Amino acid sequence: MVSKKRPAGPGRKKMVEELAMVLLKVKALQIGTFTLASGALSSYYIDLRTIPSFPGAYRFVTDCYLDLIRRDVGVSKFDAIAGVPTAGLVYSSPVALELGKPMIYVRKEEKDYGRKKRIEGALNPGWRVLVLDDVITTGTSKLPAIEAIRDEGGEVNDVAVLIDRLEGGGAVLKKSRTKLHAFTDVVELVRALHKNEAISDDEMQAIESQKSGRSRQ
């Protein structure tokens, strides 16, 4: 199932607005014209790998994950957290430590020596595993990790990310019997930036138009 839009309560709304300003300040979110790996043009660019270089921002982003998991997923609903390399590991580590949950991670490719395993860490059969990553776009990059965990006897029902790029990721996960939980999405972030006069009308409209155009594809 795709997660429903979360209520914009006072606490969460404030966190989203602060997150938007933090991402812009450390250039983890950039507004402009960018060429993506696919060759497509985009009016924004997200790279959360810069966050750990700024301890205050790193702590705040970790708190956003914790808020999402406690409110939307439920700490009792999973037994372990799986980070998706490489960006997901940056956040799964402090989150797992804070929640007191075991952490594993899924290699992009299995080892070519030893046990040739893809799962690093202790995964007990039947464990419910929360997959954690930084962002979601189409969702296809999450599927190999989900299947690797299931192949090793784990259960995957939920995926948590900080930002949904709104390009169909939730629907792809739904087909894999997995529910997406996103703290926020790119449109909500840019609207928060616009509200705080951090970006112009044209910049906000460019991103909203880009999202609307892709949703019709």
Domains defined along the chain, listed by start: 10-215 (3.40.50.2020)
User: What gap in Å lies between CA 91 and CA 148, rounded to an integer?
Assistant: 20
φ, ψ at 84 (rounded to 5°): -100, 115
Q: What is the pLDDT of residues 70-113, one digit of tens each?
A: 999 999 999 999 999 888 999 999 999 999 999 999 987 655 44
What does the pLDDT read at residue 35? 86
The DSSP call for residue 155 is: E
Average pLDDT, rounded, for the chain: 89
What does the pLDDT read at residue 11? 85
User: What gap in Å lies between CA 157 and CA 130, rounded to an integer?
Assistant: 7
Among residues 69, 176, 174, which one has the least CA distance to residue 132? 69
Q: What is the pLDDT of residues 162-203, one digit of tens each?
A: 999 999 999 999 999 999 999 999 999 999 999 999 999 999
> What is the reported pTM?
0.89
Q: How far is CA 157 from CA 66, 128, 130, 191, in A?
A: 18, 7, 7, 30
The residue written with tokens 């019709």 in the block is: 216
Q: In which band, very low, low, confident or very high, does the pLDDT at 123 lie, cut at 50, 70 and 90?
A: very high
Q: How many CB atoms lie within 10 A of CB 83?
A: 25
Q: Is residue 7 classed as helix, strand or coil in its secondary structure? A: coil
